[in-house]
Amino acid sequence: MTGQDLPAKYFANLTERQREQFDLLGELYPEWNEKINVISRKDIDNLYINHVLHSLTIAAFLGDVAEGTTFLDMGTGGGFPGIPLAIMYPQARFHLIDRIGKKLRVAEDIANRIGLTNVTVQHGDIGECHGKYDYVVSRAVMPLDGLVKLVARNVSRTGRAGNRYDNGIICLKGGDLEQESRSVRYPVVEFMVNEFFNEDFFVTKKLVYVPVK
């Protein structure tokens, strides 16, 4: 099985359009990486498992989401986890924010070139983002306690019927999170990523869900 087959391995109901979009990521990210170091040079060959499939842990956790569900990808960099999730959830809307403009340009260009119409981007600090979203997602951007303090205000307190999980923060982390979680004033629920995917890369990886009410 090639890396490009990994999304279809775990998400059997992908449309042909979604398969094509995931395949295009394998062309566009290496192309951009020649110009801008969006993904470490040694890691670009592992694009699908380390970045695309890792991002899709959030989709494996959430399952189907309701029409119009909104996501804020805080510190998206070159578009992870936002771009893979936007492919997975064409019925949802994604706002990607990052302080590094050149990386954000990569995410915006790739979203446009694969035909995503459910993605907007914002160059700036999270303090400049005043919108409310059903879920705030991030991938190893910063310690959990600091992240929650920054983005809890961006989580809508109005739930959306049809979603499995209450509105909140979902982030992809690794290692021991006890110290990071200690001062978080909301519940912190951890899942091992290998509960969803059985590749060795995910043995130490975690998904953390913080419902915000």
Instruction: Give per-residue pLDDT as tens, 37-47.
Output: 888 888 888 99
Contact 39, 51 (CB under 8 A): yes
The per-residue pLDDT for 177 is 84
Compute φ and ψ for 13, nearest 5 degrees. Answer: -95, 20
DSSP one-letter code for 34: T
What are 123-128's contacts with CB under 8 Å, separation 24+? 123/97, 123/98, 123/99, 124/97, 124/99, 125/99, 126/74, 126/75, 126/97, 126/150, 126/151, 126/154
Residue 20: partners with Cβ closer than 8 Å, 6 or more residues away: 114
Residue 49 CA to residue 56 CA, distance in Å, equals 10
pLDDT score for 42: 80
Question: Do residues 94 and 55 make contact, with C-beta atoms less than 8 angstroms apart?
Answer: no
pLDDT at 141: 78
Q: Extract the residue ranges of the chain whose pLDDT is less than 50.
A: none
pLDDT of residue 2: 62
Q: What is the mean pLDDT of the chain?
A: 94
Predicted confidence at residue 124, as pLDDT, reads: 94
Q: What is the pLDDT of residue 80?
A: 97
Q: Which residue has the tokens 């923060």?
A: 169
pLDDT at 68: 97
